[in-house]
Structure 1
Amino acid sequence: MTSSDRTLARDIDAACRLTGTFTLRSGQAASEYFDKYLFETDPALLARVARQMVPLVPERADLLGGLELGGVPIVTVLSGLTGTGALFVRKQAKAYGTSKLAEGPPVEGRRVVLIEDVITTGGAVRDATRALRAAGAVVDTVVCAIDRSAAGSTPLADIGLEVRAVLTKTELDAERTG
């Protein structure tokens, strides 16, 4: 864990890991589910996660882009802690009003660090990266609360994106067995 908060993995796991019968996004059935919104809606846990993200944000960041929906509460707190401006990045540009993909200041020519709650395969991050790059942003880093990708994998290397995580699946799983 990159964090100096040694109890964070235990507390996140205790708050968010649910047991029962669940249908995953992939359509598969599972007996466990990780409900990330349970830490994002808990002000104390959210603040602890955001504090641990601060040293993971590259110094050269111009803007922090929180991905809809889970990255938005995190980026709001993190922006306040770092003094770096925030963007709220939609899954797709809205079809009315300003028709923006990213709500906030212009991104063209600016270094945007993406902020996400949980990364498993990185699909949403990949889509946001491509869209922001097409709008002229420089995107090379994503900071996430939890990297649930397989140990040793780099799910976003194919698009040149570095993943920096507060916690990993391995660390959370160790709380179940430890």
Structure 2
Amino acid sequence: MTDTDQATAALARDIDRTCRLTGRFVLRSGRTADEYFDKYRFEADPVLLDRVAAGLAELVPPGTEVLAGLELGGIPVVTALARHVGLPCAFVRKTAKAYGTARLAEGAEVAGRRVLVVEDVVTSGGQVVISTGQLRELGARIDQALCVIDRSEGGTEALAAHGVALRALLTRADLAAHRRA
């Protein structure tokens, strides 16, 4: 196992240990589960978030001009990542605010620039598809997205259908692998 593989395995283990909760949880679907993955726990831990950002930095495609973090979970991730790669950020709302600047994307200008969409966790890819479309309407050039965790539930395929390649630091399988070891 290479040093990079060991670092990735250690990161997966630490994220899983930090974020996997047990108890009784009602899911968005209405189902109940005895296990829940609280992604905000790795985003709230500055040391763990910095390790995530360092890993993501290796995946930023050459030529990227702006990092676009999606509301809510993508915002801390994109901010930490920007510190590692020195690129400006845009903070993308789910809907444009109705006051002040009334903008969908705050921060760095996206029009005419090569933008990398950054999300914390991708499941179906739905919000990334929506936000990518909105950013393209603003003139952003987008062909890739980056996430911390791909839950491997169709997001990669959904994004590919819209001309966006998804790169993930970790997958659901990576998080589960340390428990099997």
Asked if Structure 1 and Structure 2 have the same fold, meaning a TM-score greater than 0.5 normalized by the shorter chain, the answer is yes
Q: Please tell me whether residue 105 in structure 1 is matched to residue 108 in structure 2.
A: yes
Change (3 A) 1:150 1:124: closer
Contact 1:149 1:155 in 2 (8 A): no
Q: Distance in 2 between matches of 1:147 and 1:8?
A: 15
Q: What is the CA distance between 1:50 and its match in structure 2?
A: 0.3
Q: Please tell me whether residue 170 in structure 1 is matched to residue 137 in structure 2.
A: no
Contact 1:71 1:116 in 2 (8 A): yes
Task: Tell me what 1:148 maps to.
Answer: 151
Contact 1:39 1:45 in 2 (8 A): yes
* Aligned-pair identity (%): 53
Q: Please tell me whether residue 11 in structure 1 is matched to residue 3 in structure 2.
A: no
Aligned Cα RMSD in Å? 1.8
Q: Please tell me whether residue 74 in structure 1 is matched to residue 52 in structure 2.
A: no
Report SS of the residue matched to 1:110. Answer: coil
Task: Tell me what 2:48 maps to.
Answer: 45
Q: Distance in 2 between matches of 1:7 and 1:71?
A: 22
Change (3 A) 1:109 1:170: same
Task: Tell me what 2:60 maps to.
Answer: 57
Contact 1:151 1:170 in 2 (8 A): no
One-letter amino acid matched to 2:133 = R
Specify which structure has the higher proportion of helix: 2
The normalised TM-score by structure 2 is 0.92
Q: Distance in 2 between matches of 1:133 and 1:84?
A: 19
Equivalent residues in 2 for 1:108-123, closer than 5 Å: 108-123=111-126
Q: Please tell me whether residue 157 in structure 1 is matched to residue 154 in structure 2.
A: no
The normalised TM-score by structure 1 is 0.94
Structure possessing the higher relative contact order (Cα contacts under 8 Å, 6 or more residues apart) = 1
Q: What is the CA distance between 1:152 and its match in structure 2?
A: 10
Any gaps of 5 or more consecutive residues in structure 1?
none
